[in-house]
Amino acid sequence: RSNDNGNVVSESTTLAIGDSFTFGDGVDNDRSWPACLERRLGKQVINAGVNGYGTAQALLRGEILLEKIESVDTVILSVLVGHDIDRDTLEYRSGRARPYLDRIDGEIDYVFPEKPDAKGTRQNPRWHILQYFALYQDLSRISDILPDTSATNLTRRSSSDVTHAEIISFVLNRFNEFSSKKVLLLQYASELNNDHVTRERHIWRDTAGVFPNIQLVDLYQELTDRKKTDSNRIWFGRFGHHTPHGNTIVCEYLKSRLSADR
C-alpha cells in the first residue's frame, strides 16, 4: 500500500507485514502507522499488510517479498493478538483461498489449497437458500459444524489439531531466520482485557523471550493507559480498526522503542 509520502530516498528499508491493522483499514494511505513511521524515521517503510491475513500467512508473504526487495534492514511483524492465529488454520476466509498451517507427518508446515476457486470463493459463487439468512451466516463463520453457504464468502477451517502455542513457536522460529533486524509488534483491538487475548499475549511474550534476536514491542500497556485517559477514539467502534489517532499512537510508541534500541 502506498504511504503517500512522496519519494522517500533512503539507503535502507523497513518492511511492515501483518493484517488489516498493518494495512490501515479505514484510514487514508498517509494515516496508517507504517506511513507515519516512514515520516518519523525519514526512511522508506513498505506497508505489506493484507486484510484478513493470519500471522503465519503474513510471515510467508514477508519471506517472498524479501527475495524481491533489496536493502531491507528491518522487518516488523505485526500481530493482532487474539485474532490472527485463528486465521492461520483457515484454508478459505471471506471467499479467498489462503495458505494455512497443518500437521504433516507430525510436523507443522504450510499447505496450499488444491482448489483456490472452490464453490463459495469469489471466483466461483454458489447459491443456496441459507445464504439469505444473516443469523445462519454469522453462526457458520464461528462454527466448524455449520457449513458456510454464502455465495462468495466461503470460510472454512481445514486444520483443527494445531494449537496456538505451536503456531506461535512455528512463526517465531521462521522469523528468527530472517537476516535483517526483527521486530515483533503486538497489537490489540479494544477488548484488551478479554481472557482469550490475555492468554495468547502471555504465550507470545514467553515464546519471544527465547529469541534474543527478536525485539518485542508490546502495545498492551500503552493502549490500556490511553484507553483510560485519552478523550480521542483509538478504535472505530467497539471492535474496529485503529482510527487515524490510534495509528499515530502505534507509530509514536514503535518509533520510541526502535530509537531506544539503537
Closest C-alpha to 36, from 259, 230, 254, 262: 254
Model pLDDT, residue 139: 73
Confidence of residue 132 (pLDDT cuts 50, 70, 90): low
Backbone phi, psi, residue 143, to 5°: -125, 140
The arithmetic mean of pLDDT across residues 60-85, rounded, is 96
Across the chain, how many H-helices and E-strands are there? 9, 10
Model pLDDT, residue 153: 78
**pLDDT tens digits, one per residue of 85-108:** 999 999 999 889 999 999 999 999
DSSP 10-35: -SSEEEEE-SHHHHTTTS-GGGSHHH
> DSSP character for 151?
S
Q: Bigger pLDDT: 32 or 132?
A: 32
| First-last CA distance in the chain | 27
CA dihedral 43, 49, 54, 56 (to 10 degrees): -40
pTM, whole model, 2 decimals?
Answer: 0.90
Backbone conformation region of residue 130, classed left if phi is above 0, alpha if psi is from -120 to 50, else beta: alpha
Model pLDDT, residue 149: 63
The arithmetic mean of pLDDT across residues 45-68, rounded, is 97
Pairwise CA distance, residues 160 & 171, whole Å: 17
Contact in structure between 68 and 46 (CB atoms under 8 Å): no
Top mean pLDDT of 54-68, 138-152, 247-261 is at: 54-68
Closest C-alpha to 43, from 73, 70, 67: 73
**pLDDT tens digits, one per residue of 160-189:** 789 999 999 999 999 999 999 999 999 999
Pairwise CA distance, residues 26 & 258, whole Å: 26
Closest C-alpha to 1, from 11, 250, 10, 21: 21
**pLDDT tens digits, one per residue of 209-258:** 999 999 999 999 999 999 998 878 999 987 799 999 999 999 999 999 99
Q: Are strands 44-47 and 13-17 parallel, antiparallel or unpaired?
A: parallel
What length is written for the chain?
A: 262
Contact in structure between 181 and 73 (CB atoms under 8 Å): yes
Is residue 84 exposed (0-12), middle (13-18) or buried (19+ Cβ within 10 Å)?
buried
Confidence of residue 152 (pLDDT cuts 50, 70, 90): confident
